[in-house]
């Protein structure tokens, strides 16, 4: 007779819950009920008398997940949650360090620095050391320090290759000393200090090994090297580690996650029990078949195949638009129809690979009066870098805009401190003028010279951009203001640069009857930035990156930008490990949908204010065609015909002349009807089966066909 806790589980789930007290790896596919298995395992161990609640260590990655585990567990058993050690890596390390602060060399009241506090502390160190923050951007330095800590490396152990790395190591060393003096720790320090405490204190290590006989870890594929090392210290010969994860959903390498920990765990602990949870309770069959087909192309995986007892469901809808604007308009029209059909907007998600893609989508939603919410992030016009850029534009358009001046007078940093700004504000108040006029009359001295250079830069920009077309104006301001250079030097600035590029795209596509394009553009940005932010509790379409979507599910999902170079991203596609992570990202995206999935792409997309032509992502080719229903091909079907009298033209650098017959691996036979650019340019081909398409030569794989 089955145990009451496992009688409603499927055979694989029950087998995982009832495993003996030995190391085990549970490969839990998307939507397979992993949280249920993990919490039921804990309840089963306690209820069968194998361990007391105090003998459980449950580790997860987010406070939300930890609270959910505790809620489910206390619903199964009459437990006091305060006595349970279930929490995040950082939360559990904090708890351990508080109990043993003397052994860890910390004050009992040590404070924890959040990311902003840590950055401020690093800036203080750099100022004290007189470090050039242009050559060593504080955020990049913060990223360096945290990366070293997550690899278990103290400042004294940093490998030094040259003056640059020597300076970084010096900042790290002084930052460590400052934190020690002030009795504070950052998030990375919590884990590193706890690891070092257990490593050097054998008695304490054995105490926790004997206490926590069962260690259960959620989302094991997201662990980094230091987290895995910490777990290894706690897992002695008599402990049992129950690791739950999905190597196919490992998508956080950029945060330090090491999918290889799953393979190492099997080897290091001689794991005998590997159970695959493959039955999916979320999605229709066609969606799972598509996810399985895509992920099967990855070579380095532990392997599993999702399946469901549910129906196959609808085919996956594919829409190919002429442009990113056409893609956005189609999505909004479909969402409006879904809403008319009775679907709550909360059950609709739009996913994108890059945050910059949201701008066109947001614009289309605003125009159609569809409320939306950006999940896990900011709407386009609320993003820091966009607000900075708009402030420069506003000050150029209107020098008396005090808010704009205050935002950018010292961003990027140019040696204008708070005291100088307060002096300018006081001068403006006394004279009854704007901050700009007060800045123009700023006095001598070092601070006055810095203000003078700022004034000269803005004046120079105003003269330089006068009469320029709007996109060129915006591009020039981004370049000359130093914003682009600032984010280019930031190790985490790639996405912010992409958003600044998207602002240029917004300017290029902006149409107005107003005589002053810039004023009208700024007004439109304010209107779009202030509208359609869904209020608390209001039904709204969910916009998010695919990374932010992990762990969520929706009735209908629109997966956008399925184009080579965008998804998979061009920065990752050339490297095997990078491509495999992009494919895992596609797998995650597909499995967010329960009932309906749309894949959309655009033949042309704005980039740097210019149209970029693309071809369909290889991921679309990896989905069996019988699972796909093409809603269109981006245009009305056209009859294939070669030009009857193509004019003689010089053959371009890429060798694909107008009138040449070519073959494409996907679109078949066609004739070149137009081209632009040189060896890396674009060609337009009229294909026999699908009509004309613009293709990027670098991606197109076009082969001449002898006539």
Alpha carbon distance, N-terminus to C-terminus of the chain: 75
Distance, C-alpha 89 to centroid of its chain: 21
Structure tokens at 212: 């926590």
The answer for residues whose C-beta is within 8 angstroms of residue 351's C-beta and 6 or more apart is 544, 545, 546, 549, 557, 558, 559, 560, 589, 592
The CA angle 471-440-481, to the nearest 5 degrees, is 30
Q: How far apart are CA 587 and CA 23, in angstroms?
A: 28
- Catalytic residue among 249, 423, 542, 560, which? 249
Residue carrying the six token digits 């196919």: 248
- Among 230, 242, 223, smallest CA distance to 195 is for 230
Per the annotation, the verdict on 218 as an active-site residue is yes
Per the annotation, the verdict on 35 as an active-site residue is yes
- Catalytic residue among 150, 189, 219, 347, which? 219
Helices 517-530 and 494-509: crossing angle in degrees, nearest 10, is 120
Q: How far apart are CA 134 and CA 468, in angstroms?
A: 30
- Catalytic residue among 174, 218, 401, 528, which? 218
The answer for residues whose C-beta is within 8 angstroms of residue 48's C-beta and 6 or more apart is 3
Structure tokens at 544: 């998010």
Q: What is 40-104 written as a DSSP string?
A: HHHHHHHHTTSS-GGGEEEEES-HHHHHHHHHHHHHHS---GGG-EEEEHHHHHHHHHHHTHHHH
Q: How far apart are CA 704 and CA 656, in angstroms?
A: 8
SS3 of 224, please? coil
Q: How far apart are CA 348 and CA 371, in angstroms?
A: 11
Per the annotation, the verdict on 592 as an active-site residue is yes
Q: What is 96-163 written as a DSSP string?
A: HHHHTHHHHT--TT-EEE-HHHHHHHHHHHHHHTT--TTTS-HHHHHHHHHHHHHTT--GGG----SH
Structure tokens at 171: 């900042």
Per the annotation, the verdict on 249 as an active-site residue is yes
- Catalytic residue among 6, 12, 13, 34, which? 34
Structure tokens at 270: 């001689």
Cα–Cα separations (whole angstroms), residue 540 to 4, 28, 558: 40, 31, 14
| Residue 599 near residue 318, CB atoms below 8 Å | yes
| Residue 97 near residue 110, CB atoms below 8 Å | yes
Q: How far apart are CA 20 and CA 241, in angstroms?
A: 11
Q: What is 165-212 written as a DSSP string?
A: HHHHHHHHHHHHHHHHHHTEEEHHHHHHHHHHHHHH-HHHHHHHHHH-
Helix H or strand E encompassing 301 = none
β-bridge partners, 26: 244, 275
Structure tokens at 591: 């499995």
Q: How far apart are CA 579 and CA 569, in angstroms?
A: 8
Q: How far apart are CA 699 and CA 623, in angstroms?
A: 19
β-bridge partners, 674: 684
The CA angle 316-359-495, to the nearest 5 degrees, is 95
Per the annotation, the verdict on 491 as an active-site residue is no
- Catalytic residue among 139, 149, 359, 592, which? 592
| Residue 279 near residue 10, CB atoms below 8 Å | yes
* Helix-strand-coil split of the chain, %, nearest 5: 50, 15, 35
- Catalytic residue among 6, 12, 13, 35, which? 35
Q: What is 574-640 written as a DSSP string?
A: TSHHHHHHHHHHHHHHHTTEEEEEEEEEEEEEEETTEEEE--B-HHHHTS-GGGEEE--SSS-----
Residues recognised as catalytic: 34-35, 218-219, 249, 592
């Amino acid at each position: 007779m089955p145990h009451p806790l496992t009688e409603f589980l499927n055979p694989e789930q029950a087998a995982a819950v009832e495993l003996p007290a030995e190391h085990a790896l549970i490969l839990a596919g998307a939507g397979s009920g992993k949280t249920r298995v993990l919490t039921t395992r804990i309840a089963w161990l306690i209820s069968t008398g194998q361990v007391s609640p105090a003998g459980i260590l449950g580790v997860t990655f987010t406070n939300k997940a930890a609270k959910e585990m505790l809620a489910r567990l206390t619903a199964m058993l009459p437990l006091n949650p305060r006595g349970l050690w279930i929490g995040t890596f950082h939360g559990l390390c904090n708890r351990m360090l508080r109990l043993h602060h003397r052994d860890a060399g910390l004050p009992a009241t040590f404070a924890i620095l959040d990311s902003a506090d840590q950055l401020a502390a690093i800036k203080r160190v750099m100022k004290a050391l007189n470090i050039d923050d242009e050559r060593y951007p504080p955020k990049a330095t913060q990223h360096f320090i945290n990366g070293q800590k997550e690899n278990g490396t103290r400042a004294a152990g940093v490998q030094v290759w040259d003056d640059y790395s020597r300076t970084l190591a010096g900042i790290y060393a002084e930052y460590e000393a400052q934190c020690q003096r002030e009795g504070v720790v950052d998030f990375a320090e919590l884990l590193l200090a706890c690891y070092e405490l257990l490593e050097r204190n054998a008695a304490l290590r054995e105490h926790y090994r004997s206490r926590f006989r069962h260690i259960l870890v959620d989302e094991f594929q997201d662990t980094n090297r230091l987290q895995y090392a910490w777990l290894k210290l706690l897992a002695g010969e008599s402990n049992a580690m129950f690791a739950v994860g999905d190597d196919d959903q490992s998508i956080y390498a950029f945060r330090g996650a090491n999918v290889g920990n799953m393979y190492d765990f099997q080897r290091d602990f001689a794991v005998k029990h590997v159970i695959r949870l493959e039955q999916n309770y979320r999605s229709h069959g066609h969606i799972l078949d598509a996810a399985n087909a895509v992920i099967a192309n990855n070579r380095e995986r532990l392997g599993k195949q999702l399946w469901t007892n549910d129906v196959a469901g609808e085919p996956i809808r594919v829409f190919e638009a002429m442009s990113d604007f056409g893609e956005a308009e189609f999505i909004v029209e479909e969402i409006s129809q879904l809403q008319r059909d009775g679907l709550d907007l909360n059950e609709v998600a739009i996913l994108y690979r890059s945050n910059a893609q949201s701008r066109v989508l947001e614009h289309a939603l605003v125009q159609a009066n569809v409320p939306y919410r950006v999940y896990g992030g900011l709407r386009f016009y609320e993003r820091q870098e966009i607000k900075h850029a708009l402030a420069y534009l506003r000050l150029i358009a209107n020098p008396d805009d005090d808010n704009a001046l205050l935002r950018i007078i010292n961003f990027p940093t140019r040696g204008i401190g708070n005291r100088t700004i307060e002096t300018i504000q006081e001068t403006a108040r006394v004279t009854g003028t704007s901050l700009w006029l007060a800045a123009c009359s700023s006095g001598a001295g070092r601070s006055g010279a810095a203000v003078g250079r700022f004034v000269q830069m803005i004046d120079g920009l105003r003269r330089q951009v006068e009469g320029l077309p709007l996109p060129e104006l915006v591009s020039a301001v981004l370049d000359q203001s130093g914003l682009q250079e600032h984010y280019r030097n930031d190790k985490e600035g790639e996405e912010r640069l992409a958003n600044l590029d998207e602002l240029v795209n917004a300017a290029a596509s902006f149409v107005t009857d107003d005589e002053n394009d810039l004023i009208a553009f700024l007004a439109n940005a304010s209107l779009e930035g202030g509208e359609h932010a869904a209020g608390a509790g209001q039904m709204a379409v969910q916009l998010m990156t695919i990374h932010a979507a992990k762990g969520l599910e929706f009735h209908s999902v629109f997966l956008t930008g399925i184009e080579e170079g965008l998804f998979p991203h061009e920065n990752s596609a050339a490297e095997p490990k990078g491509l495999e992570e992009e494919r895992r990202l596609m797998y995650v995206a597909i499995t967010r949908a329960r009932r309906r999935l749309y894949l959309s792409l655009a033949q042309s997309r704005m980039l740097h204010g210019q149209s970029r032509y693309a071809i369909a992502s290889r991921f679309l080719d990896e989905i069996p065609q019988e699972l796909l229903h093409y809603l269109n091909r981006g245009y009305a079907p056209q009859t294939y015909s070669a030009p009857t009298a193509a004019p003689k033209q010089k053959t371009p650098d890429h060798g694909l002349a107008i009138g040449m017959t070519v073959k494409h691996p996907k679109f078949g036979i066609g004739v070149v009807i137009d081209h632009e650019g040189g060896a890396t340019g674009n060609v337009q081909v009229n294909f026999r089966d699908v009509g004309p398409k613009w293709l990027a030569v670098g991606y197109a794989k076009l082969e001449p066909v002898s006539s």
